[in-house]
Chains A and B, each alone.
Chain A
Amino acid sequence: MVQSPRRRSSESRIGARAVVVGLALAMVGLLAIQTSSIVRGAVNASRTTMDGASASASGASSGFVRWIQGIGGSAADKKRIAELEAEVANLHRWKDAAQSMVHRMEVYERLLDVLGEPERNEVTARVVAESDGPFEATVIAAAGAAQGVEEGYYAVNQNGLVGRVIRVGERTSRILLLSDFASRIPVRGLESDDRAMLVGDRRGGVARLIEAESPDRIVEGEIWVTSGDDGRLPESLIVGRARFAGGEWRVDLALKETAIDYVRLRAPPDYPTPEEAPAPGDAAAGGVVATPGNAPGGG
């Protein structure tokens, strides 16, 4: 039987509609299954691979942007500016390090025989991409597993703490910025000595201070630093300045003071627990660890 052209056209339109609606429903399904941690793990693995590709694409587009910005400037000027920028960045790093060390020394002088922060692996990397969309605030740095970077490393720049490495590729790593909703860092005020949790808040480059021990003691404009209470970050890394706004304490993040061009990726302190690394004597005796249940006098 021969179908009329109008009927064939109508059927193909229905087919096309079915395909488009099917694609949309498939995407809803894809989104829904990402609530499973197993699926999210698999998705993260594919994201790790794609982060490298994103960095390459962004690197190429970065070159394009630089070319646009460079129209009208001479090569010698650009070279000199690049040299000075590198020098300033280097000096800021020293300033940052000096401030941090002064504070640490004060603490050490009060508490004699305190064990210092151990030396750890670190590497400087250029930021090749920055994502500040509705879903997350991250940057991609051009250093990855090949340079010894691992998940959990923290990133600092000349202004202070930038964030933490959440995914590592072969030559790139994705850093979750302090301004991301998912970022949570234990912090301490330098003047008030109050402790709180710094939670990312994307509005205007600030973060919120929640669960402060004594909010009344917090001082406007006070510098806040990492407290190191979680054992995953060293203490005294600058995160920003306190500001009271909207009925709560917020922190103007130091990372937002300048563009993030370079970051220093450092290994976390990673102190092993006594259970993970027992003393040599305990290990020889079979690694038995005293618990509240079997400790002498422990009941």
Chain B
Amino acid sequence: MTLGVRLWFGLMTLLCAFITAVGLAPQVTGLWWPLAGLWAAAAWSSTGLSVWCAGCLTLLGLLTDYITGAPIGAWPLALLVAYGAGLVAWGLGSSLPAWAPDLLALAAALTAATFALMFASDVAGREAFWLDGILYDLLLTAGLYPLVRSILNPMRPRDFRR
């Protein structure tokens, strides 16, 4: 991964943190809001396994934990698991039509992240995890993904995948 790509991913990490923070503004409370970190996890999985991406996702997850009041470590775990699920999906979908692995990676990332958050809530001893509080946000995240995917990761999958 070149220095330029790393810097771009770093910049996108900050952008995702900003989008998450905008979701806390009282003016948008009650509206569905995308989970920007999951966009990043799904989009970056097309570049293949990268410690840099994992580091950016961990940092973004920790910021999200503090911003949203989640147990510390819940969102980093969810984003890393989503990234891992995306990588597996890309590996499995390499023989499918060009658009399919991306879709598969997104579905895998969102599903894996949801289960990871539930697991994290359980491990941290939280009384309850409100799935409804995230369900519509996940749908919106999936719906907007095609629009933001090329911004978060402008590289073609072939450029980076082995």
Residues of A whose CB lies within 8 Å of any CB of B are 9, 13, 16-17, 19-20, 23-24, 26-32, 34-35, 43, 46-47, 50, 53-54, 57-58, 60-62, 64-66, 69, 127-136, 138-139, 174, 181-182, 202-203, 259-261
Contact = CB atoms under 8 A, between A and B. Distances in A.
SS of A interface (majority): helix
Interface in B14-57: 17-18, 21-22, 24-30, 49-51, 54-55
A114 B134 CA distance: 48
B54 A20 contact: yes
A135 B123 contact: no
Give the size category of B's interface with A: 35 or more
Contacts of B28: 65
B73 interface: yes
B60 interface: no
Contacts of A203: 132
Nearest to A174: B69
A24 B77 CA distance: 5
A135 B74 contact: yes
Given A17-B49, A47-B66, 4 more contacts: A31-B72, A65-B22, A129-B24, A174-B69
Given A16-B51, A24-B81, A261-B26, A136 B69 contact: yes
Contact of B126 (A16, A29, A65, A135): A135
Contacts of B105: none
A57 B67 contact: yes
A23 B80 CA distance: 8
Contacts, number: 156
Interface string B88-117: 000000000000000000000000000001
A181 B130 contact: yes
Interface of B: 17-18, 21-22, 24-30, 49-51, 54-55, 58, 61, 66-74, 76-77, 80-81, 83-84, 117, 120-121, 123-134, 162
A155 to B, nearest CB: 14
Contacts of A28: 73, 77, 120, 123
B51 A20 contact: yes
30 contacts: A16-B54, A17-B49, A23-B55, A23-B58, A23-B76, A24-B84, A27-B61, A27-B73, A27-B80, A31-B74, A31-B124, A34-B72, A43-B72, A46-B66, A50-B67, A57-B17, A57-B67, A128-B26, A129-B26, A130-B25, A130-B26, A131-B67, A135-B121, A135-B129, A136-B69, A174-B69, A259-B26, A259-B27, A259-B30, A260-B29
A135 B75 CA distance: 11
A32 B124 contact: yes
A24 to B, nearest CB: 5
Given A135-B129, A138-B69, A127 B26 contact: yes
Contacts of A62: 25-27
A193 B110 CA distance: 48
A138 B27 CA distance: 15
B24 A61 contact: yes
B22 A61 contact: yes
B29 A20 contact: no
A57 B21 contact: yes
Nearest to B131: A134
A49 B139 CA distance: 32
Contacts of A261: 26
A62 B27 CA distance: 7
B161 to A, nearest CB: 12
